[in-house]
Structure 1
């Protein structure tokens, strides 16, 4: 008899398998990144793909069988309706971007209860946000780096105006660091502001679409350096188009 397990999961990605199956990649509240096999998709089968939108937070019941290494999804229900994300293009595109960053960077079986709690809180903050969300992903990436164990040291000063992505600290422009590992002075000051900002303060920072795009690419590069793998986040261009 299969053993049942209850948990909460954040949806990252869904891949269809055949006519009525799918593999749902999630971050589980206790087990970390996991693939869950879902049966019964399709017209008249009672399972809707819309429930598994990017960053959906679900209460799930899963089970394992001796014949498969996959966990099977037996029951699921939305922990929160997340109508703000589902109905707003800027929020849903931000959710797509965040989902892809998590999908690319989180390895399987990396359970982290504190990270899951922060992710859940940040998803709810995005859902409930009133007003423009254009800077949300910048604030989120700065926070995500900290939760992954490589928080940038906020030692910015006029004498240390450049952020070195390898040492994760601000430094003087003295020729000791390769230029391709340094943020520009403008990008470095923006990172400094984001590190000390509340969400409301971060959203109020005036930025052009080009500056947001450039900074986002540098933060993805920073993640790549510290995770030890190059990440190509394709949804960044979609996000840029929405907020341009």
Structure 2
């Protein structure tokens, strides 16, 4: 058995394996996007495994397997606002699904973990005007991955929303959140940005949770 170390990670998703184990899909500073297996029991609190939870745990490396074991998993912070606000909860589901479907196992983009952590805390702390947070996230995420959107690169994807996107690309965070968009416009721009990510990552991103945002923020 390999060495054991304590790390901090962000939970992206989990997959149940039988009755007593789950595979957690995570993002960490040390390993980037990586999955671990962990045991669960009747006393295990499922609240530890909510999307985008920031967790501490002990990882035991196993040179004979790519699926290492995680244990003593604990949430570092409750993220109370993300869990109690239905709209924030929907945004969280969307962001975690984007990360889960777009990051390949083993990928470790420089600065991605710290940026994601900052985004989680930012959304948790916001009291109002966060309906466009997922759009900001998608644009900044593209930049972290190495294909920052600009007026020229977004044009082939923008369709009727080119003027809005052209303005949004040049706004700071506060101004971006206050930029007037209808629910329908937000949904359509989110689809454009997902298409933009899909193209540059050369994968098909089918983000099912976008429909939840559409229902919650629709006009």
Same fold (TM over 0.5): yes
- Aligned-partner Cα distance in 2 for 1:140–1:169: 16
Shift of 1:55: 0.6
How does 1:196-215 map onto structure 2 within 5 Å? 196-215=170-189
Count of residues in correspondence between the two structures: 218
Listed one character per residue, the Cα deviations across residues 162-220 of structure 1 (whole Å, up to 9, x for unaligned) are x5xxxx255xxxxxxxxxx34125x2222223222232211111111111111111111
Moved more, 136-145 or 58-67: 58-67
Q: Distance in 1 between matches of 2:30 and 2:172?
A: 28
Q: Tell me how large the CA RMSD over aligned residues is.
A: 1.6
1:24 aligned partner: 24
Instruction: Quote the Cα distance in structure 1 between the aligned partners of 2:27 and 2:167.
Output: 29
- 1:111 equivalent in structure 2: 108
CA distance in 2, matches of 1:32, 1:100: 16
| Unmatched 5+ stretches in structure 1 | 155-162, 171-180
Q: Verify the 8 A CA contact 1:30 1:113 in the aligned structure 2.
A: no
- The structure with the greater share of residues assigned to helix is 2
Q: Which of 77, 80, 84 is 1:80 aligned to?
A: 77
Q: Is the 8 A contact 1:142 1:194 kept in 2?
A: no
Q: Which has the larger radius of gyration?
A: 1
CA gap 1:5/1:241 in 2 versus in 1, 3 angstroms: same
Q: Where does the alignment leave 5 or more consecutive residues of structure 2 unmatched?
A: none
SS at match of 1:23: strand
Moved over 6 A (4+): none
Aligned to 1:183: 158
What SS does the aligned partner of 1:232 have? coil
